[in-house]
A and B are shown apart, each in its own frame.
Chain A
């Protein structure tokens, strides 16, 4: 959890928002630091988190979370965190024994029996639906890299359907939040990905867009982040609020500053 980013977003772990859809988007850089931020933020806030981690292993997230002061293993034991490790479950699906028909793997679509992401949605719904006896605040769905689903052969429409179902379930019914990371390049020819990104941009309440510097690599400024607060989504008359900051990632923290005010310049 980066305190400076919380200030910029006006969020605090004491009172997390409810019913918000946040899109994390990265262009020419790696926006995974935002995923680590939101993971530790919601765990601190006492929310029940379902983390669909498709790109990295559990140990990676666990070690980084430890640096940010959160223990994933402990959260998992408490039942606060449901961690779907995509890399592992895909191996179980492909090389494991025949699974029971009652419990399909969340990544069922890989093996080709059906092309939709229904199994994944079922997994999210079951893991986030409130069970008696837990006192977690609002459920949160966190997806690291939705673009991987496209790489794995899911159709863009199936991905959009999945997100739509999740929004209805998590944001509307359970009053929770969704945070999703996607890669995007303006000049890429990946039409499927662009389709997904554009339509998600239209629906999201908050967009954090991490961009690599257009002028190339810099040691003291790792990129710029565009924070778009979609006020127009709630009230048609309002304008979207756009803020642009530059950031530098450090070992355990990320510092944000106004463009041109980096330590290298001052």
Chain B
């Protein structure tokens, strides 16, 4: 009450449109049954406590201006800011500054604002009684409806003219560089990567030691493609692509709950729909259901790793799979480009799909476009016939980098995005990994705590591993979207895998011994060197 009063005192009353006043009267004034002269109203006490300049701006007590009216809220023009009159010791003071009020319009001195406010009051007070006669005292639904009638001409949205769905499902343009972005299937990873995976780029995941979490990311990426209706290309040398697709996590969607509740709701709906209470009239013309399916408008979904995606959903998209051991050997006349034959076959397969499936961005005549999501599992492992993982000086070190270069070319000219997992910890020759990093767009490394001493470290007790973002692309701009923090960790909850900012756990116990605190400090150092692999800050400070 008192806050409202101060607000009204600070802002000239004519800022409020007339139509609003009856509403305010109902809210702020006491009920009509209240005797007009009830004392002890908090409004008044506030007003008395206000400093003099404020009081000068406040309106005069109502009963003295229009003494014939019994109850304040009956007069909409007067009531909203008019407190009930006071009785007893305070009333003489009210009356005493009333003459000032009366004189106010004639006064030429005083601040402009006070003048404005004062000159407004008598007009309102004079206008009050006729208003009270003309208008109903309580704002009824008819008034709101009238407002709605008027509003319909200018404000109503045509039913069909909602936000236009993007040309491609599951994409959105980047704010920074205008490139279309796809979600990686993990909103927290999208955030780290600057909004998502841009179309035409390559996301390289460095596998964790046992490949547990990287395969989750891989599946998230594919599951997002299925939910968005993208075409998939899955290549593997280890697991059969069909098996990978059987293991995809089920999407967590709001409408799955709705579907479950839907049957009961449908049974109840028809009979009591007619006389159901109207809460907001302005919404009655809006469509009851979303016209476009949520999958098309939404960017990034959450998945439940404890459930598997239903086979019907999996079969709703076009799937291309490449299983190395089932592929036919290359015909002798095809070029092998001095490359490992597995990679060469994979490239030819991708190229064929891109050119035949209409994902080629360079030919504009295709009418219906879609996005191709390419997933390649454990590239560079020995199952691909590559020996970079088993020897320090591999026979053919350029195969992998050549493959990535050609793949980069294919991706850049097509409407596709690619995720590759690489067993980086197995690649002995660090030079190869450096070159691989240079040739991919985004590089994210996963380091799980399984089997390392960090597993039992109290510092990391909330997390299952660390995330190292090695590279973020600079697309169409000089700068790249680097997230503020480099200290990221991941955690596999019961249903979800998330990437979070790494922070220290709160120190809850009072009796932490000094020794264990030093342990923590030591491991914090270890953490900073682990996260910023480049940090050699012990030697000097840059600035």
A residues lining the B interface (CB < 8 Å)? 28, 30, 32-33, 36, 55, 57, 59-60, 63-64, 67, 86-88, 90-91, 94-95, 110-112, 145, 147-148, 150-153, 183, 185, 188-193, 212-219, 221, 224, 246, 249-252, 254, 259-260, 262, 265
| Chain A: minimal CB distance from B333 (Å) | 12
| Shortest Cβ distance from A115 into B: residue | B338
| Chain B: minimal CB distance from A210 (Å) | 13
Contact A190 B542 (CB under 8 A): no
B539 CB-CB contact with A under 8 Å = yes
- Residues of A close to B120: CB separation below 8 A: none
Instruction: Tell me the chain B residues, 335-352 only, with Cβ under 8 Å from chain A.
Output: 335-338, 347-348, 351
Contact B477 A188 (CB under 8 A): no
Q: Which of A63, A112, A145, A214 contacts B542 (CB 8 A)?
A: A214
Contact A90 B409 (CB under 8 A): yes
Contact A217 B532 (CB under 8 A): yes
Instruction: Tell me the chain B residues, 426-457 only, with Cβ under 8 Å from chain A.
Output: 429-431, 434-435, 438-439
Contact B534 A216 (CB under 8 A): yes
Contact B532 A216 (CB under 8 A): yes
CA distance A193 to B431 in the complex (A): 9
Contact A151 B338 (CB under 8 A): no
Having A88-B413, A111-B335, one finds 6 other A-B pairs with CB under 8 Å, namely A60-B475, A63-B477, A91-B413, A147-B438, A153-B402, A215-B535
| Chain A: minimal CB distance from B435 (Å) | 5
- Residues of B close to A57: CB separation below 8 A: 412-413
Contact B478 A254 (CB under 8 A): yes
Contact A110 B478 (CB under 8 A): no
Q: Which of A64, A86, A95, A215 contacts B477 (CB 8 A)?
A: A64
Contact A185 B434 (CB under 8 A): yes
CA distance A251 to B175 in the complex (A): 13
Given contacts A216-B535, A259-B543, contact A87 B430 (CB under 8 A): no
- Residues of B close to A150: CB separation below 8 A: 435
CA distance A262 to B541 in the complex (A): 14
| Chain B: minimal CB distance from A155 (Å) | 10
- 1/0 per residue, CB under 8 A from A, across B514-534: the answer is 000000000000001000101
* Cβ contacts A to B, 8 pairs, < 8 Å: A87-B412, A91-B410, A112-B338, A145-B438, A193-B431, A251-B478, A251-B479, A259-B542
| Chain B: minimal CB distance from A28 (Å) | 5
Q: How many A-B residue pairs have CB under 8 A?
A: 135
- Residues of B close to A250: CB separation below 8 A: 478-479
- Residues of B close to A111: CB separation below 8 A: 335, 337-338
Contact A151 B439 (CB under 8 A): yes
B183 CB-CB contact with A under 8 Å = no
CA distance A190 to B438 in the complex (A): 13
B505 CB-CB contact with A under 8 Å = no
- Residues of A close to B486: CB separation below 8 A: 216-217
| Chain B: minimal CB distance from A231 (Å) | 27
The 10 closest A-B pairs by CB, nearest first: A190-B431, A87-B409, A151-B401, A153-B398, A215-B537, A216-B532, A112-B338, A260-B543, A63-B476, A216-B535
Q: How many residues of B contact A (CB 8 A)?
A: 46
- Residues of B close to A183: CB separation below 8 A: 434, 438
- 1/0 per residue, CB under 8 A from A, across B397-412: the answer is 0100110011011101
| Shortest Cβ distance from A213 into B: residue | B542
B540 CB-CB contact with A under 8 Å = yes
Instruction: Tell me the chain B residues, 320-372 only, with Cβ under 8 Å from chain A.
Output: 335-338, 347-348, 351
B474 CB-CB contact with A under 8 Å = yes
| Chain A: minimal CB distance from B218 (Å) | 24
CA distance A67 to B477 in the complex (A): 8
Given contacts A60-B475, A88-B409, A251-B479, contact A110 B402 (CB under 8 A): yes
| Chain A: minimal CB distance from B74 (Å) | 62
Contact B479 A214 (CB under 8 A): no
Interface centre among A28, A36, A192, A214 (most CB of B within 10 A): A214
B484 CB-CB contact with A under 8 Å = yes
- Residues of B close to A212: CB separation below 8 A: 534
B23 CB-CB contact with A under 8 Å = no
- Residues of B close to A86: CB separation below 8 A: 409
B482 CB-CB contact with A under 8 Å = yes
| Chain B: minimal CB distance from A203 (Å) | 23
| Shortest Cβ distance from A29 into B: residue | B534
Contact A90 B405 (CB under 8 A): yes
Contact B478 A151 (CB under 8 A): no
- Residues of B close to A265: CB separation below 8 A: 543
